[in-house]
């Protein structure tokens, strides 16, 4: 019934702006939310969201679905734009960058409640939060710092006051484990 992501990208590549409008309806909130979390400022997040969809418009023909999911492509563009903005400003946003996405799942009763919560998890965000919650806290922390703050491994080592080798191990094990958990779950319904 609704056109697939791939169909939309083909239409966008033919300069059909209606397809871009539909793509925005589908993913505009995801892009805006990610940008907002990374830069911590609504005006900048709006600017980044506009840039992301204009870049999709300009580069839809070069998108290769066999290489990455559309959400991976969209979120990658969003991250690069956000990190670029942060580096140009030479600032890191405070507050909500450090928020832990699994906090609201574990804060009330600890991780032992997770299997029950898992049964009820239906949405993509819940599934990802649950997957992150299964990681050891140290591994989750470096993944979030790298992904949302754009920190390099030496920067994380300095921020955490940990040896660089330790941070590298946490990054490697953390992402490999996250991948295994997500692959064992149902694909998010996006």
Is the Cβ–Cβ distance between 92 and 27 less than 8 Å? Answer: no
- Listed in sequence order, the residues at least 6 apart from 85 whose beta carbon sits closer than 8 Å to its beta carbon are 39, 44, 48
Binder of another protein out of 4, 14, 61, 68 (CB under 8 A): 68
Query: Residue 25 is encoded by which pair of tokens?
Result: 């309806």
Please say which residue, 42 or 91, places its beta carbon nearer to another protein: 42
User: Is residue 25 a contact point for another protein (CB under 8 A)?
Assistant: yes
Look-up: residue for tokens 């400003």? 89
Binder of another protein out of 9, 75, 93, 114 (CB under 8 A): 75
Is the Cβ–Cβ distance between 93 and 39 less than 8 Å? Answer: yes
Minimum separation from the CB atom of position 56 to another protein (A): 9
Binder of another protein out of 84, 154, 158, 163 (CB under 8 A): 154
Is the Cβ–Cβ distance between 29 and 49 less than 8 Å? Answer: no
Is the Cβ–Cβ distance between 78 and 31 less than 8 Å? Answer: yes
Please say which residue, 70 or 119, places its beta carbon nearer to another protein: 70
**Rounded Cα gap, residues 134 and 146, in angstroms:** 18
Binder of another protein out of 79, 81, 85, 106 (CB under 8 A): 79
CA quadruple 128, 131, 133, 137: dihedral sign? negative
CA nearest neighbour of 38 among 126, 125, 97: 97
Binder of another protein out of 6, 84, 113, 125 (CB under 8 A): 125
Binder of another protein out of 39, 86, 121, 156 (CB under 8 A): 156
Positions that interact with another protein (CB under 8 A):
1-3, 17-18, 20-22, 24-26, 28-30, 32-34, 36-37, 45-46, 49-50, 53-54, 57, 67-69, 71-72, 75-76, 78-80, 83, 101-102, 124-125, 127-129, 131-132, 143-144, 146-148, 150-154, 156, 168, 171-172, 174-176, 178-179, 182-183, 188, 190
């Amino acid at each position: 019934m609704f056109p697939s992501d791939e169909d939309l990208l083909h239409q966008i590549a033919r300069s059909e702006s209606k397809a871009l409008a539909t793509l925005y309806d589908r993913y505009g909130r995801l892009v805006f939310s990610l940008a907002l979390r990374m830069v911590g400022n609504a005006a900048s997040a709006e600017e980044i969201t506009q840039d992301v969809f204009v870049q999709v418009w300009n580069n839809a023909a070069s998108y290769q679905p066999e290489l990455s999911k559309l959400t991976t492509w969209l979120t990658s563009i969003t991250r690069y734009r956000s990190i670029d903005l942060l580096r140009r400003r030479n600032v890191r946003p405070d507050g909500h960058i450090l928020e832990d996405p699994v906090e609201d799942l574990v804060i009330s009763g600890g991780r032992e409640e997770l299997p029950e919560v898992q049964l009820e998890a239906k949405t993509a965000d819940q599934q990802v939060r649950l997957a992150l919650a299964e990681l050891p806290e140290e591994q989750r922390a470096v993944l979030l710092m790298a992904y949302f703050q754009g920190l390099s491994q030496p920067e994380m080592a300095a921020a955490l006051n940990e040896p660089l080798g330790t941070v590298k191990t946490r990054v490697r094990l953390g992402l490999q484990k996250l991948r295994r958990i997500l692959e064992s779950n149902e694909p998010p319904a996006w």
